[in-house]
Amino acid sequence: MNISPDTLEILKNFSTIQSNLLIREGSVLETVAESRNIVARATVADVFPQDFGIWDLGQFLALLSLFTKPSLDFKDKFVIVKEDSKEGITSALKFYSAAASMLTTPAKQLNMEGTKVTFDLPAEKIKAVMTAAGTLGVDDLQFASDGSLITLAALDKDEAKTSASNSYTLPIEEDSEETKFCIYLTASLFRMIDDDYEVQLGAESISQFKSKNRDLTYWMAPTIDSVHGK
C-alpha cells in the first residue's frame, strides 16, 4: 500500500500527542496523550491491511521521509518499505511491529451527549491566540462567555485571579445559547492540525474540536478550575 500525504500529515500530528501508535486494521487512526487529557481520532483515505504497532512514531516517520513515494508491504511481525529508483535499484526498510500491550491507546469511545454550547473556531483565530500565548509566555487558554459573547483568551489563569495579568482576548461569536461558562485548556497541549473547527463544550468536562474540512476530531479535558454553565 501507499500512504497519502494527508495520512502522513495526520501521523505527524499524532506523534506530537503520543510517541507510540497502534494502527488498527482499516482506515481509522486514533491516539491519546500519556496524561490522557487529549484524544484524537481521524478517518483517512488509506486502508491498513492489519493491526501494526509502532513504538517510536517519530522515528518511523523520519525513516519514511527517506523515500519519495514509499510502498508499504505489511507482514506478520514487520513492514517492508520499498521504493524503486530511476536506475531500477530498490531501496528498502524493514521495520518491526511493537506489541499492542506496550502501546498507549484510548480506553473508550467518547461522545458529546449533553453538549452545553457549540460554535465555530477559524484557523486564523487559533493561530493568533497561540502566537499571543507564546509571546506572553503563558500556558493557559480560556474559552468564556458572559451569556452574550464567546471569547478566546491567552493568559495566566492563576495570576489573572489574584492580580493584574497581561492577556490577549479574541471575540469568537455571539452566544446564542446565552450560557455563561469559563473553560481553561493548556496551551502547550493544544496540538491540533491547522484547520477550521466546530467546537463543542460538554456537560461532562470534555471539549470537542471537530475539523470542518476532514474527518478529524480532538477531545480535550479542561483544567479542574473550569466553570461550566447551566
Domain boundaries, the chain: 5-102, 117-220
- Residues of the chain by 3-state class (helix, strand, coil), percent to 5: 20, 40, 40
CB 121 within 8 A of CB 45: no
Q: Domain 5-102: give its CATH code.
A: 3.70.10.10
Domain 5-102 and domain 117-220, same fold? Reply is: yes
Burial of 161 per CB tally in 10 Å (0-12, 13-18, 19+): exposed
- Give the tens place of pLDDT for each residue, 60-96: 999 999 998 889 999 999 999 998 776 666 889 999 9
Amino acid 198 reads E
Rounded to two decimals, what is the model's pTM? Answer: 0.91
The correct answer on CATH 3.40.50.720 for the domain covering 117-220 is: no
- Give the tens place of pLDDT for each residue, 150-163: 999 999 988 877 77
| pLDDT band, residue 179 (cuts 50/70/90) | confident
C-alpha dist (Å) from residue 115 to 38, 51, 181, 196 = 18, 33, 13, 19
